[in-house]
Structure 1
Amino acid sequence: MPQRSLGTKIRIGANFIAGLTDIGPPQKSAETIDATTLDSPGGYRTFVQGFKDAGEVSISGYFESGDVGQVNIDSIFESGAFETFEILYPNGSSYTFSGIVTGLNGGSATLDGLLAWEATIKISGSAPLATTASSGLTALSLTGAGGTLSPAFSAGNRSYTFGGVTASSITVTATAASHALKLYIDGVYSQDLTSGSASAAIALTLNVGKKLTIIATESGKTSVVYEIVAIKTA
């Protein structure tokens, strides 16, 4: 059944890119290898598939200089670093891929127009289409003197706070068999987590909230994202 595009998003690491009006899909293609022989049927050439290329993803919209996602695109264009991207559709499907930013036009200005922004991402490796969601976490806990996780963990809840912390640092333990688990701190990649094992210590500052984002992904499925805001109050 046809569905509106409204609600389609693209995430870079833990951050969505704001202000977009167009998100192109991966432009997949494959080379061909001539497999013709002297006895090919009917005198026609025959072919087999060669190397595949997941192509590029083009995104465009309005220039929002304060948006973390657009700032991240600029940063990885300058550094040449690989980053993980995920296109999320309102019907629950997604493309996940690793890529580099090969084109960026941020702040195109025209008379009587809005500031425009566009970028091109070159995919490295595959960009599989996922049509079902990952199972997600089966347990989540944090350690740090005085801290309380609220609400208590439940499989269907994706947003938590860990308040009342008096310790100078905390750790987080996420459990999800057969998932890749990535931890981001305030939107910046921190580490890969091992299911059921505590993270490295995460330093806290008095009365300053710290956002922990855990992205849980089963192979071939759409990621599930959890966010915890941790606050040291004493």
Structure 2
Amino acid sequence: MAGIDGFGTQFKRGDGAVPEVFTALANVDNIDGPSLSRDTIEVTTHGSPEQWKEYLGGLKDGGEVSIDVNYDPSAHDSLVADLDDKAPRNYKIVFPDGRATTWSFAAVMTGFSSSAPHDDKLSASLTFQMSGKPTIS
């Protein structure tokens, strides 16, 4: 197989209850991320071979997840509360790969930007900063 069609991927938001229930966000048309990265720690010394810098792996960062939606105020304005909340909330990205591979993570919403052009659909972009280690299942 050459690839997997991304159509049907879901972005889900947890309700914080126990047990937690996740609901798919309506009208998502694009999901970017997570954008995992790792810092490096330079450990170069006067004895480093042939004056080449040397590094160790440092702290890891889950990065950001951003989603674009066909903006519906009645479906999406409740998410502004996530922007007001300092505590991370649980989210999931569920892929349509036959196994329903899922990235689960805690994140803080860091951005909510809507657009209402005169000649196109209402849209919004939402940005989430991951907090801690994501899990893949």
Q: Percent identity?
A: 28
Query: What TM-score comes out, normalization by structure 2 length?
Result: 0.85
- Match of 2:93? 87
- Match of 2:19? none
Q: Give CA deviations for 1:79-137 in whole Å, capped at 9, x if unaligned.
A: 3332100001001222111011110013x111111111110001111123x2xxxxxxx
Residue 120, structure 1, aligned to residue 121, structure 2: no
Alignment of 1:1-234 (within 5 A): 1=1, 2-13=3-14, 14-67=22-75, 70-91=76-97, 92-106=100-114, 108-128=115-135, 130=136, 221=137
- Match of 2:17? none
Query: Which residue identity does 2:11 align to in structure 1?
Result: I
Are the aligned partners of 2:11 and 2:28 in contact in 1 as well (CA < 8 Å)?
Answer: no
Moved over 3 A (4+): none
Once residues 30 and 63 of structure 1 are traced to their aligned partners in structure 2, the CA distance between those partners, rounded to angstroms, is 33
Once residues 101 and 85 of structure 2 are traced to their aligned partners in structure 1, the CA distance between those partners, rounded to angstroms, is 30
Q: Structure 1: 5+ residue runs without aligned partners? A: 131-220, 222-234
Are the aligned partners of 2:64 and 2:130 in contact in 1 as well (CA < 8 Å)?
Answer: yes
Once residues 43 and 12 of structure 1 are traced to their aligned partners in structure 2, the CA distance between those partners, rounded to angstroms, is 50
* Number of residue-to-residue matches in the alignment: 127
Query: Which residue identity does 2:80 align to in structure 1?
Result: D
Once residues 98 and 65 of structure 1 are traced to their aligned partners in structure 2, the CA distance between those partners, rounded to angstroms, is 24
Higher RCO (C-alpha under 8 Å, 6+ residues apart):
2
Q: After alignment, is 18-27 or 34-43 more displaced?
A: 34-43
Once residues 71 and 83 of structure 1 are traced to their aligned partners in structure 2, the CA distance between those partners, rounded to angstroms, is 16
Once residues 44 and 81 of structure 1 are traced to their aligned partners in structure 2, the CA distance between those partners, rounded to angstroms, is 43
**1:29 CA displacement:** 1.2
- Match of 1:171? none
Once residues 37 and 48 of structure 2 are traced to their aligned partners in structure 1, the CA distance between those partners, rounded to angstroms, is 25
Once residues 133 and 78 of structure 2 are traced to their aligned partners in structure 1, the CA distance between those partners, rounded to angstroms, is 22
Q: Which protein is bigger by CA-based radius of gyration?
A: 1
Once residues 118 and 95 of structure 2 are traced to their aligned partners in structure 1, the CA distance between those partners, rounded to angstroms, is 33
Once residues 42 and 54 of structure 2 are traced to their aligned partners in structure 1, the CA distance between those partners, rounded to angstroms, is 6
